[in-house]
Amino acid sequence: VTMGMPSRAEIRKVLKKLEKAEGSLAPPENPSPLERFRFDIQQKFVSYKLKTKISQREMAEMLGIDETKVSKILRNRLDDFSTDRLISLYEKINPKIKLKVS
């Protein structure tokens, strides 16, 4: 079976879907210390999820928040979360968290 190029209509349809998609945000190119700190916390959630193979639903239950918010954290879309809130949520995963300023 050979695959031909998709039609222009198919390409437009896919591009239209992608316009609405919300992927993960990368940290800023030159992050401030606070942005770097928030990204580091966010990465701890991602690491925990990958290490434990927990579902987003299970993680939401563990954190006491809805799945949409877990999804936002995992995709580094943190505008809805204060730094204090991120720390308090992460404490539910790792109660022995130690914060260090260097």
- Identify the burial level of 27 via C-beta atoms within 10 angstroms of its C-beta, where 0-12 means exposed, 13-18 middle and 19 or more buried: middle
Q: How much is the pLDDT for 94?
A: 92
Q: What is the DSSP letter of 61?
A: H
For residue range 31-73, what is the model confidence (pLDDT) as tens digits?
A: 899 999 999 999 999 999 999 999 999 999 999 999 999 999 9
Specify the pTM: 0.75
11 or 62: whose pLDDT is higher? Answer: 62
Q: Which of 1, 12, 74 is nearest to 41 (CA)?
A: 74
- Do 90 and 97 touch, CB atoms closer than 8 A? yes
